[in-house]
Amino acid sequence: WWNDSYHETMLCFTNNIPQRDGGTHLSAFRASLTRVMGGYIEAAGAAKKEKVSVSGEDAREGLTCVLSVKVPDPKFSSQTKDKLVSSEVRPAVEGLCSEGLSTWFEEHPVEAKAVVAKIIEAAAAREAARKARDLTRRKTAMEISSLPGKLADCQERDPAKSELFIVEGDSAGGSAKQARNRENQAVLPLRGKILNVERARFDRMLSSELIGTLILALGTGIGRDDFNADKLRYHKIILMADADVDGAHIRTLLLTFFYRQMPELIERGHVYIAQPPLYKVSKGKQSRYLKDQADMDAYLIEEGSSDAELDLPSGERRTGLDLQSLVREAKAFKAGVDRLSQRAPAFAIEQSALAGLFAEDSGDPEKAAARLNLFAEEGDGAWSGAPGAQGAVAFERVRRAVTERIVLEEALIRSQDARRLAERAAAFEGLFDTPAVYRRKDKSTTIRGPLDLLDAVLDAGKKGIAIQRYKGLGEMNPEQLWETTLDVNARTLLQVNVEHEEEASDLFAKLMGDVVEPRREFIQENALDAAVDA
């Protein structure tokens, strides 16, 4: 049967033994399919009308077939039985398939018309791709220099010593060209987003100017018959995109291109992802680059914990590494609170978790209400807590003659996120039954829970430092770009590898393909795990 994909899927068996390389039964099936389809299309006059020549390859595009034969004494090309060579199989398979296909086309004219339309479309695309490939072949490696404003090539001619930086945007490309080591670092700026090759036919992909420029720069050619990884001009292809949502999208489009069209480059370990920093922090005359928000938080926690102390109600004092460890626990705890904070106020989620309200045996609503009163200001009424309808818990108080009410629904209390938050809360058991005090450099802050502690330490960590956030690579001057991304001795690169072929292919098809439903399901399942940089 045929589908909307562009790939042929053939599974061949002899006496239930799979043949990876096909054999005479596969050759017979293909011959009969080509003959029957060719005759049907010629009778309909479709090929002449569209002015295309149809081949067997066109007829098999998007075809999925399981071909199984029973043979009394089969002969194979080797002991692994990967290829059937029994000659007597061919006429039998060819005759049966021809008869069956002819009958099916006669009995299903509507479906046959759709199949013919797909085959004609495939033939037209193949012809367009051939013309585009012919144009690409005429470009030689010497013509790379005729790409002014695009590729800034390097002097090194040994691919093993050469690097190509594929940079997002002209502004970043300009800085990269100035900052690079001209001896062995080439820069190719890509303006805009490249085509999503997961959704595009081969001919349309080759007609894309951005992809054409990329293919020329790499020097490998493209396509089943023309790609040659040995002709790669740079053995390090480094994707350099901004550390924001658009940058991530461009990086994903490039990875889709390499995975679908040049997988051998990934297999050989030639594709890398640059890790440009998101922040620069300066303290006095010293500067430091930080890759992302997680690195930034870790730096601020380290700064805010140095020369600081946390006096707990029990009389215990936390300082140094002990304090840092507790703040990191608070950061993980806050991530759990954030997941639930769209359904109730963050302070109510925090204090309910500390009171044991989300534990399996459930806590006392009044105990949780008592913790909420830690946040009460002078003149505020006291919070009271009680079980609500359908397993909910309700907190209520009167503040300035207005009744305030917070309801935690049963679905929230019994959710998996609430259970995980309860496990995190165990790290703070007994620490904040009454307010603690955080002290640093003659300044004291009242701490009523993990969120207060995290905020106080992060705020203290920011004192005396200048923070610069880079929205894009284009905001960096050449010196900064060299220090962070281009310098071999200082930069961080991620090598792209495929450990699980089927999972990777499925993920690209799901996230970058035409079908919306699997992508929607994936987003819904993983939305809470996403770290969104606002």
Tell me: the pLDDT tens digits for 19-74? 999 999 999 999 999 999 888 888 877 666 666 778 888 888 888 899 999 999 99
Confidence of residue 172 (pLDDT cuts 50, 70, 90): confident
Q: To the nearest whole number, what is the mean pLDDT of the chain?
A: 86
Domain ranges within the chain, ordered by starting residue? 9-135, 143-276+475-498, 283-469
Amino acid in the structure at residue 90: R
Residue keyed to tokens 């297999």: 267
Mean pLDDT, rounded, for 475-483 = 84
Confidence of residue 244 (pLDDT cuts 50, 70, 90): confident
CA-closest candidate to residue 328, choices 292, 294, 289? 294
Phi, psi of 154 (to 5 degrees): -105, 170
Confidence of residue 524 (pLDDT cuts 50, 70, 90): low
- From residue 417, alpha-carbon distances to 331, 341, 409, 424, 529 in Å are 15, 11, 13, 11, 11
Catalytic residues: 168, 242, 244, 246
Confidence of residue 174 (pLDDT cuts 50, 70, 90): confident
pTM: 0.63
Mean pLDDT, rounded, for 472-492 = 83
What's the pLDDT tens digit per position in 401-436? 889 999 999 899 989 999 999 999 999 988 998 999
What's the pLDDT tens digit per position in 63-85? 889 999 999 999 999 999 999 99
pLDDT at position 219 over 90: no
d(CA 513, CA 525): 18
> What is the CATH architecture of 9-135?
2-Layer Sandwich (3.30)
pLDDT value, residue 496: 94
pLDDT value, residue 183: 93
pLDDT value, residue 142: 44
**% of the chain surpassing 90 pLDDT:** 43
- From residue 307, alpha-carbon distances to 21, 54, 283, 286, 297 in Å are 69, 78, 16, 19, 18
pLDDT value, residue 46: 64
d(CA 351, CA 368): 6
Mean pLDDT, rounded, for 245-256 = 87
d(CA 485, CA 474): 13
pLDDT at position 12 over 90: yes
| pLDDT higher at 329 or 400 | 329
> What is the CATH architecture of 283-469?
2-Layer Sandwich (3.30)
What's the pLDDT tens digit per position in 103-116? 998 898 888 888 88
pLDDT value, residue 309: 95
Reduced 3-state DSSP string for 52-75: CCCCHHHHHCCEEEEEEECCCCCC
Phi, psi of 260 (to 5 degrees): -85, -35
Confidence of residue 391 (pLDDT cuts 50, 70, 90): confident
What's the pLDDT tens digit per position in 103-152? 998 898 888 888 888 888 888 877 777 766 665 555 544 454 455 457 88
Token output for 180:
């690079």
pLDDT value, residue 138: 52
CATH for 143-276+475-498, among 3.40.50.720, 3.40.50.80, 3.40.228.10, 3.40.50.670?
A: 3.40.50.670
